[in-house]
Amino acid sequence: MRGSAPRPWTALLRPRRRRQAAFRAAGVMASAALLLPLASQATATPTATERQPRAGALQRAFTEASREYRVPQSVLLGVSYLQSRWDAHGGAPSVTGGYGPMHLTDAVHALAEAPHHSDGREDPRGDGARPLPRAVHPPALPAGEVPARLRTLERAAQASGLSREALRRDPAANVKGGAALLAAAQKRLGLPLSKDPADWYGAVAGYPGASDTATAATFARDVFDVMRSGERRTTDAGQRVALPGSPRLGGRTDQVRRLGLSDAPDEGTECPRTVACEAIPAPYEKLQGDGNYGNHDLADRPASQKTEFIVIHDTEGSWETTIKLVKDPAYVSWNYTVRSADGHIAQHVRTKDVAWHAGNWYVNAKSVGIEHEGFLAQPDAWYTEEMYRTSARLVRHLAARLKIPLDRRHILGHDNVPGTTPSTIRGMHTDPGPYWDWAHYFDLMGRPFHPTGGTSGGMVTILPDYEAHQPAYTGCTGPAKPCAPHGSGAVRLHTAPNEKAPLVKDAGLRPDGSASTIDVNDTGARASTGQQFAVAGRKGSWTAIWYLGQQAWFRNPWSQPTAVSAFGRVATPKEGLDEVAVYGRAYPEAEAYPPGVPVQALAPLPYKLLAGQSYVVGPRVPGEYLWAKTFDPAGHKVIKGKDAYYEIQFGHRVAFVKAADVTVQPSNQ
């Protein structure tokens, strides 16, 4: 497990933008007076006891806090599980500045400004037919405007009498702080400190500081579901924690109304009933200049085009900053945003319309984009379990509604979206990055990754043990600086079956032929959980796959495998072809374009699918181009050609090849 070995306490970090070339510290929206004492506390050296707690210490901490504050232990365990899965994260804050197993929040770490699409390297629309949306840098949020949900650690200190430092650094103190908050909430609601967990529904609902009734009720429902089913796991610090299930447990759901929260406007949202969702529309407005409008395109999907993909992003900014940006008509857009602390969801663009989010116009026209509050390059800036759960329910709902298969060929990270042309490859974004837990995410969607073939199946599915697998990365806090040890769902790819062998090269990212690096934003030699590749060889504890036109090796020992065997379909060049062109978009042939619509060049990427190589096949898609240059959607056209394409898993990012150029066959042939 990740926390079984001693780890240094992570210093409080400022978020940075997810770019490969330069490190920029993001601004912090809190006063210097607040920041300085917190920074000094975070760098303190832990004691031997803190570094190596006994395996049952955290369970005892829940028992003691339950007794001291008269909060049922199952309530404490359930709330903590939905916030942190009982992990302490080495004292590092979450994406919203939450600490420890109870996720006690301190605003100074949450209030960072690092807009997702504002560094100018990627055109989120991904189409030269329109001017590049302007970069936006919203002002810092004044400390006085910090929402209450980001200040729970302060309240826990007041309620428990424990110091802020102890609440951040000591998991046992953190649990007591959470218990004190729950007990205070129970009293504030005029309810007894009952031994019956069912009597704590209102206090549980209010714990994450939701601002609306639906979000509070959703959180409480999820906590009580966990209490009914039970959970047990070993945490990141090697702590064994168990919550026995209580299948017949009820809940006083009427208590949620005692919180006095408002009802968020959810009219017209396309969300499942199992999440709390509100409408915060992205504006569709005409701007100054010919053909200048924003911040998305009106369409009629799926009648006009089939939606093939769901793209997962992280915001690289706080919820407050992100919502300000999506409401700016001169900025860009995405379909949904998911908040970390309580899993609240906002919908901005209808799924029938086209949001500008992926940096590839073909993918935009055929996808739904979901942003998640968080920062890629802060490996310990962790996401809550509630965020993973509500996001997974949203994706499962959208996939069923839009008929999108739940696999990694259709559920993409932004870092899996290809550049459109050779010149755009280096500007493509790299979120949600190697620390996104794809395995857990798909487990929550009811589609866990597992072997689908034997060793002769000809394919593998990348599947390391997320918490135990901790490859080294750099660049989280500055150029070439080591990142803190952390679980990862990505494996590193070498040119030979040897840890000292060079990493494979990415001709698109580095046209000069230089080697890939272990920078957290460098996707050139990386394969991610759930992705499938054709096997190119095996040697001892190493497996080779076909990757970016070359043989790429990763360590895959039987005692701690990082991939499982699979079977499926692969594409190879048709007989007689030495190589096949690879594309970042599936556009129609020139003859398909009507008068008045400029022909979009079929610019191949600087890679080749060579004879003798195989790549796992995704959906067969038509050559299509959405011409959208006018504010009036009546001027939009979908151009459909005769050429068809296959999506393939070509590298860390997907790519497209013409169906006429390849033979598709079973992977074991």
Cα end-to-end distance, the chain, whole Å: 38
pLDDT (0 to 100) of residue 249: 96
Phi and psi at 59, nearest 5°, equal: -60, -40
CA distances from 431 to 166, 190, 295, 336, 446 (A): 33, 45, 21, 16, 23
The token duo for 63 is 């028992």
Q: 3-state class of 426 per DSSP?
A: helix
CATH hierarchy code of domain 27-119+141-259: 1.10.530
Is the pLDDT assigned to residue 426 strictly greater than 60? yes
CA distances from 104 to 136, 168, 341, 444 (A): 31, 8, 10, 24
Sign of CA dihedral 582, 586, 587, 590: positive
Sign of CA dihedral 524, 529, 532, 533: positive
- Structure letter (DSSP) for residue 2: G
Lowest mean pLDDT among 83-97, 212-226, 246-260, 622-636: 83-97
Q: 3-state class of 36 per DSSP?
A: helix
Judge contact between 8 and 484, C-beta under 8 A.
Answer: yes
Judge contact between 276 and 344, C-beta under 8 A.
Answer: yes
* Planar angle of CA 433, 448, 365, nearest 5 degrees: 55
582-592 pLDDT, tens digit per residue, is: 999 999 999 99
Lowest mean pLDDT among 212-221, 222-231, 368-377, 657-666: 368-377
Residue that wins the pLDDT comparison between 383 and 406: 406
Lowest mean pLDDT among 138-152, 421-435, 605-619: 138-152
Residue that wins the pLDDT comparison between 7 and 254: 254
Judge contact between 157 and 180, C-beta under 8 A.
Answer: no
Is the pLDDT assigned to residue 504 strictly greater than 60? yes
The mean pLDDT value of the chain amounts to 87
Is the pLDDT assigned to residue 164 strictly greater than 50? yes
Cα–Cα distance measured from residue 392 to residue 291, given in angstroms and rounded to the nearest whole number: 37
Cα–Cα distance measured from residue 54 to residue 59, given in angstroms and rounded to the nearest whole number: 10
pLDDT (0 to 100) of residue 476: 83
Judge contact between 487 and 466, C-beta under 8 A.
Answer: yes
E strand intervals along 215-294? 231-234, 240-243, 277-279, 285-286, 293-294
Is the pLDDT assigned to residue 45 strictly greater than 80? no
CB within 8 Å of 441: residues ≥ 6 apart:
388, 391, 392
Q: 3-state class of 468 per DSSP?
A: coil
Task: From 119, 118, 94, select the one nearest 108 (Cα to Cα).
Answer: 94
Task: From 306, 285, 317, select the one nearest 133 (Cα to Cα).
Answer: 285
Judge contact between 562 and 602, C-beta under 8 A.
Answer: no
Q: Please give the full DSSP string across 38-97, using - where no structure is assigned.
A: HHHHHTPPPPHHHHS--TTHHHHHHHHHHHHHT--HHHHHHHHHHHHTT--GGG---TTS
Judge contact between 327 and 285, C-beta under 8 A.
Answer: no
Model confidence band, residue 291 (pLDDT cutoffs 50, 70, 90): confident
Of 97-101, 274-278, 483-487, give the range with the top mean pLDDT. 274-278
One-letter amino acid of 312: I
- Domain 264-434 CATH (choose: 3.40.80.10, 1.20.910.10, 3.40.630.10, 3.40.50.1820): 3.40.80.10
Is the pLDDT assigned to residue 132 strictly greater than 70? no
State mean pLDDT over 424-431. 92
Cα–Cα distance measured from residue 204 to residue 220, given in angstroms and rounded to the nearest whole number: 6
Task: From 222, 225, 206, 213, select the one nearest 391 (Cα to Cα).
Answer: 222
145 CB-side CA count, 13 A: 8
Cα–Cα distance measured from residue 383 to residue 415, given in angstroms and rounded to the nearest whole number: 18
Cα–Cα distance measured from residue 601 to residue 624, given in angstroms and rounded to the nearest whole number: 13
Sign of CA dihedral 592, 593, 599, 604: negative
Phi and psi at 68, nearest 5°, equal: -70, -40
Cα–Cα distance measured from residue 12 to residue 297, given in angstroms and rounded to the nearest whole number: 40
> Which ranges constitute the DSSP H helices of 333-451?
361-365, 385-402, 438-444
Identify whether 302 is preceded by a cis peptide bond (ω within 30 of 0).
yes
Q: Is 219 exposed, middle or buried (0-12, 13-18, 19+ CB in 10 A)?
A: buried
Model confidence band, residue 30 (pLDDT cutoffs 50, 70, 90): very low
Cα–Cα distance measured from residue 264 to residue 176, given in angstroms and rounded to the nearest whole number: 32
pLDDT (0 to 100) of residue 21: 32
Judge contact between 360 and 308, C-beta under 8 A.
Answer: no
The token duo for 339 is 């908040």
Longest dimension (CA), the chain: 80
Residue that wins the pLDDT comparison between 67 and 138: 67
Cα–Cα distance measured from residue 665 to residue 182, given in angstroms and rounded to the nearest whole number: 58
318-377 pLDDT, tens digit per residue, is: 788 889 889 999 889 999 999 988 999 999 999 999 999 999 999 999 999 999 988 765
7-25 pLDDT, tens digit per residue, is: 222 222 223 333 333 332 3
Cα–Cα distance measured from residue 456 to residue 26, given in angstroms and rounded to the nearest whole number: 49
Cα–Cα distance measured from residue 133 to residue 120, given in angstroms and rounded to the nearest whole number: 9
Cα–Cα distance measured from residue 368 to residue 311, given in angstroms and rounded to the nearest whole number: 6
The token duo for 119 is 């560094």
Judge contact between 404 and 308, C-beta under 8 A.
Answer: yes
Q: Is 496 exposed, middle or buried (0-12, 13-18, 19+ CB in 10 A)?
A: middle
CA distances from 581 to 317, 571, 578, 610 (A): 38, 13, 10, 9
State mean pLDDT over 28-41. 29
Could you identify the residue written with the tokens 């309620």?
159
227-245 pLDDT, tens digit per residue, is: 999 999 999 889 999 999 9
Q: Which helix (H) or strand (E) holds 618?
A: strand 615-627
Judge contact between 320 and 376, C-beta under 8 A.
Answer: no
Q: How many residues are present in the chain? A: 669
pTM (2 decimals)?
A: 0.88
Task: From 362, 341, 345, 394, select the one nearest 150 (Cα to Cα).
Answer: 341
Is the pLDDT assigned to residue 628 strictly greater than 90? yes
Could you identify the residue written with the tokens 């997907």?
654
pLDDT (0 to 100) of residue 35: 27
Is the pLDDT assigned to residue 6 strictly greater than 70? no
Lowest mean pLDDT among 59-63, 188-192, 378-382, 658-662: 378-382
Cα–Cα distance measured from residue 50 to residue 320, given in angstroms and rounded to the nearest whole number: 35
Is the pLDDT assigned to residue 393 strictly greater than 60? yes
Phi and psi at 657, nearest 5°, equal: -130, 150
CA distances from 379 to 483, 485, 488, 566 (A): 7, 8, 9, 30
For the chain, the helix, strand and coil percentages under 3-state DSSP, each to the nearest 5 = 25, 20, 50
pLDDT (0 to 100) of residue 158: 96
pLDDT (0 to 100) of residue 330: 86
Judge contact between 644 and 621, C-beta under 8 A.
Answer: yes
- For the chain, domain boundaries: 27-119+141-259, 264-434, 579-666
Model confidence band, residue 91 (pLDDT cutoffs 50, 70, 90): confident
Is the pLDDT assigned to residue 133 strictly greater than 80? no
